[in-house]
Amino acid sequence: RAKKAGPGTVRFFEEADDKVSRDRKALQADLAGAVAREELFLVFQPFLDLDENRITGFEALLRWQHPSRGLVPPSEFIPIAEETGLIHEIGEWVIRRACATLKDWPDDIRVAVNFSAAQFHNTGILQTIVQALADAKVAPARLEIEITESMLLSKYGSAASILNALLELGATVALDDFGTGFSSLTYLRKLPFSRIKIDQSFIRDMLVQPDCAAIVKSVISLARDLDIEVVAEGVETTDQLDYLRQINCDEVQGYLIGRPVSAEGAQALLDTKKLRAIFAA
Ligand code: C2E
Ligand code: MG
Ligand code: MG
Ligand code: MG
């Protein structure tokens, strides 16, 4: 790097690197106290079922309100949480919070929680989930765990045993960001997923790239044969929604249906009949 540039350039990059790593260390230190200071919160993004034309649940998405930096996105702090091991404490908090929120919603509404690979290192995670469900008095079938293919690559053995235990408990498992990792089809055979979530990059391109539409259609028909439901992520336009309806996608999620909102906002969505009118076929 910077081979052809003068010595001043190298120095500039080194200083820039220093600044990045100092910044990261500061963020790390702040994140360590974030749970205790109650700076983390969840927002909830709806799933819309296209047969029933109703909201069937919400995905819980983590947010960090940093005292001086403002809102830090998960793409910035989840990797730090994973590297430092803070993900265990944070992940537990997410599960407890999600279950506690679910308690206030009707019985036919589920909550989906995102998992990090590192959480599979910790076998205590199962006990945490069982306890969180019991404390909130919600049926395990209403809890879904979202994992990605890359997690299975790195931690297949421990992931498989924890996922199977979760299924025995009655919870469900969804394969997130489907199509962006490797060996997807192998995992579909080996692990009992209830849902796959087609990555938003496919949904974004499917109406402009015919090969992309072909992939989305094939995934839906494959999933149907395997008795797995399909959720399309990142639906932003009515054209995309119409197309997904045509090709029999089970559920959709995206800014068109609803952005992530507070628990109160989610409750309001459940109370309103407006969605039905907007999205009815
Ligand atoms: P994800 O699980 O694939 O979540 C979907 C992301 O896409 C969310 O970003 C959501 O806000 C965004 N999104 C939803 N609909 C649309 C749309 O129509 N258009 C566009 N452009 N984006 C849309 P967010 O909340 O920033 O989360 C990013 C990622 O961070 C998540 O991807 C997930 O991998 C991770 N994450 C979030 N919360 C948690 C958590 O509690 N634990 C762990 N381990 N990871 C989390
Ligand atoms: Mg997800
Ligand atoms: Mg996703
Ligand atoms: Mg359905």
Give 194-235 pLDDT, tens digit per residue: 999 999 999 999 999 999 999 999 999 999 999 999 999 999
Kindly list the distances between the CA atom of residue 92 and the CA atoms of 99, 122, 123, in Å, as whole numbers in the listed order.
11, 11, 12
What token pair was written down for 170? 């009655």
Q: How far is the CA of 200 from the centre of ligand 3 (A)?
A: 7
Q: How far is the CA of 229 from the centre of ligand 4 (A)?
A: 8
Q: Which ligand is in closest contact with the Cα of 55?
A: 4
Q: What percent of the chain has pLDDT over 90?
A: 74
Mutation test of ligand 1: which of 114, 147, 177, 205 has the most ligand atoms closer than 8 Å to its C-beta?
114
CB 203 within 8 A of CB 216: yes
Q: Which atom of ligand 1 is nearest to the CA of 87?
A: 44
What pLDDT, on a 0 to 100 scale, did the predictor assign at position 149?
84
- Ramachandran sector of residue 2 (left: φ over 0; alpha: ψ -120 to 50; beta: rest): left
Q: What is the pLDDT of residues 140-183, one digit of tens each?
A: 999 999 998 888 877 777 888 899 999 999 999 999 999 887 76
What are the phi and psi torsion angles at 33 (to 5°)? -105, 5
CB 125 within 8 A of CB 143: no
CB 231 within 8 A of CB 208: no
Ligand 1 site, CB within 6 A: 45, 61-62, 73-75, 78, 94, 114-116, 146, 176-177, 200, 234-236, 254-255, 260
The mean pLDDT of 65-78, rounded to a whole number, is 96
| Bridge partner list, 231 | 197, 251
Q: How far is the CA of 48 from the centre of ligand 4 (A)?
A: 9
What pLDDT, on a 0 to 100 scale, did the predictor assign at position 19?
79
Q: How far is the CA of 50 from the centre of ligand 1 (A)?
A: 21
CA dihedral 24→29→32→36, nearest 10 degrees, is -130
Q: Which candidate, 219, 222, 244, places its Cα nearest to that of 234?
A: 244
> 191 or 215: whose pLDDT is higher?
215
